[in-house]
Amino acid sequence: MSTTSLAVVQLSAGGYGPESLNEAVEQTRLAAASSDIVALPESYAGFGDLQARLPWAFDEAKPECGPTIAPFLEISHASRAAIVLGGTPERSADGRTFNTALVLREGQVVAKYRKENLFDATLPGGVRLEESRQTAPGADGQDVVARLGGFSLGLSICFDLRFPEHYQRLRARGANVLLVPSAFTRPTGEAHWEVLLRARAIETQSFVVAPAQCGEHVGGRSSWGHSVVISPWGEVLADAGDEPGTIAVTLDLQAVRDARSRFGS
């Protein structure tokens, strides 16, 4: 398989609850009807503090029973599309939750990555985001790559984008498509989102696929949007803008081979 059809879903999730989850499920169902891979952003099932997240968190031993995972497993089984869940809460032994990305295929969880680099910052206007207070970090150097035919998906989440060594390790493990599901804030998104994504593509000569949240959320948080797909040469192939929606592209492994041959790699 040298080409694959990809759909990237951009959401504007509210708080944890049926409304946010159902919107993500419906958009995935529509996209899976005509795509080989469907990628969702970080926090696709909603935003909220630890107390709000815990009822929606899954257990490591039984991810298929997680309320934020089960409906997508059904879609992956029925459609045969691979689904990338960009970031969902997973229970941690210390009482916090991991922020976990999953790859589903044919009704099974085939890859799992726990976000390593957590985002703690004070935004303009005084909004304080302290991910590490309620989210446990994944182990360093997970380097998770999900292989789907000739396409090898290297997993990361949002703030990982600022750590280029993570993507070099994924490339060394055979990745040719880098997933960066995110909920990038507006100030940092406007300044850094596209340039960092293009840099990761150019450095690794890989496709970069970045599903994103957009709009306003609970707790005074807002997201930049602009889900993008970037070629191994650093070109923006599609941009979802700043409203919810889905972008679709065809990925061709020849573009990876061509870019890497120019670098002698």
Identity at 201, one-letter amino acid code: A
pLDDT category, 263, cuts 50, 70, 90?
confident
Tell me, what CATH number does 186's domain have? 3.60.110.10
Helix (H, G, I), strand (E, B) or coil at 212: strand
141 vs 62: which has the higher pLDDT = 62
pLDDT category, 132, cuts 50, 70, 90?
confident
Q: Are the C-beta atoms of residues 156 and 143 closer than 8 Å to each other?
A: no
- Among the listed residues 23, 42, 90, 116, the single catalytic one is 42
Query: Is position 42 annotated as part of the catalytic site?
Result: yes
Q: Are the C-beta atoms of residues 31 and 9 closer than 8 Å to each other?
A: yes
pLDDT, residue 206, reads 98
- The tally of domains found in the chain comes to 1
Helix (H, G, I), strand (E, B) or coil at 142: coil
Q: Find the mean pLDDT for residues 170-185.
A: 97
Q: In 17-112, where does DSSP find H-type helix? A: 18-32, 50-53, 70-79
Q: Find the mean pLDDT for residues 131-147.
A: 91
The answer to whether the predicted template modeling score (pTM) of the entire model surpasses 0.75 is: yes
pLDDT category, 126, cuts 50, 70, 90?
low
Q: Judge whether residue 1 has pLDDT over 80.
A: no
Query: Is position 158 annotated as part of the catalytic site?
Result: yes
Q: E strands along the chain, which residues?
A: 3-10, 37-39, 82-91, 97-105, 108-114, 120-122, 128-130, 135-136, 145-148, 151-155, 177-179, 207-210, 214-216, 222-224, 228-230, 236-239, 245-252
- Among the listed residues 23, 90, 112, 115, the single catalytic one is 115
pLDDT, residue 128, reads 63
pLDDT, residue 48, reads 92
pLDDT category, 125, cuts 50, 70, 90?
low
- 77 sits in the region (left: phi over 0; alpha: psi -120 to 50; else beta) called alpha
Q: State pLDDT tens for residues 196-218.
A: 999 999 999 999 999 999 999 98
Q: State pLDDT tens for residues 49-88.
A: 999 999 999 999 999 999 999 999 999 999 999 999 999 9
CB count in 10 Å sphere of residue 207: 26
- How high does pLDDT run on average in the chain? 94
- Among the listed residues 23, 90, 116, 158, the single catalytic one is 158
* Domain of residue 20, residue span: 3-262
pLDDT, residue 135, reads 93
